[in-house]
Amino acid sequence: MLPELRVLYFEDLEVGLSETLSKTIASSDVVGFAEITGDRNPIHLSEHFAARTPFGTRIAHGLYTAGLISAVLGTRLPGPGAVYISQTLNFRAPVRIGDVVEVTVTVAELMPERRRARLACQCSVAGETVLDGEALVKVPTKAEADPLASRTERSQG
């Protein structure tokens, strides 16, 4: 199920505001990611191969898990209109097929002069952090998103 879209403007953000998304990792997700990216490393696709690794079973691509952060940024916090500027990623533990990944994004800092937000990002499985990092995004103001609406508000005020 896709997350419902929510639009937040720079004015709506405050330090500490957070959003969480949960996703159960399916084999079809991992296979699809491999097809889209071309990363056909057998640790992701072959149970026989993966059984001989330290993980003992297939694992999801790290960037697939990181992509779930993008889902939160693009749909919920801040949502449509936000522009990704940078992302740091620290891969802490593997994500296996069937794991439920909980992605939490939290506003860590606001930079009003450039309408930027620094967001703390964490992905966890059963309470264990599997990935963390920070994202920097540019967030539109209400006036930038709908210049006509802000002109109307000024003329009525």
Taken as a whole, the chain contains a residue count of 157
pTM as predicted: 0.87
Distance in angstroms (rounded) separating the CA atoms of residues 120 and 110: 12
Can you spell out the DSSP letters for 45-95? H-HHHHHTSTT-S-B--HHHHHHHHHHHHHHTSS-TT-EEEEE--EE-S--
Q: What is the predicted pLDDT for the residue at 48?
A: 97
pLDDT in tens, the chain (157 residues): 566 889 999 999 999 999 999 999 999 999 999 999 999 999 999 999 999 999 999 999 999 999 999 999 999 999 999 999 999 999 999 999 999 999 999 999 999 999 999 999 999 999 999 999 999 999 999 988 776 655 445 555 5
Q: Are 72 and 21 in contact (CB under 8 A)?
A: yes
Token pair 């896709």: residue: 2
CA dist., res. 107 & res. 77, Å (int) = 9
Superfamily name with CATH number, domain 10-145? Hotdog Thioesterase (3.10.129.10)
Instruction: Say how far apart CA 35 and CA 51 lie, in whole Å.
Output: 22
Domain ranges of the chain: 10-145
Query: What SS3 state is found at 29?
Result: helix
Q: Which residues pair with 59 in a beta bridge?
A: 96
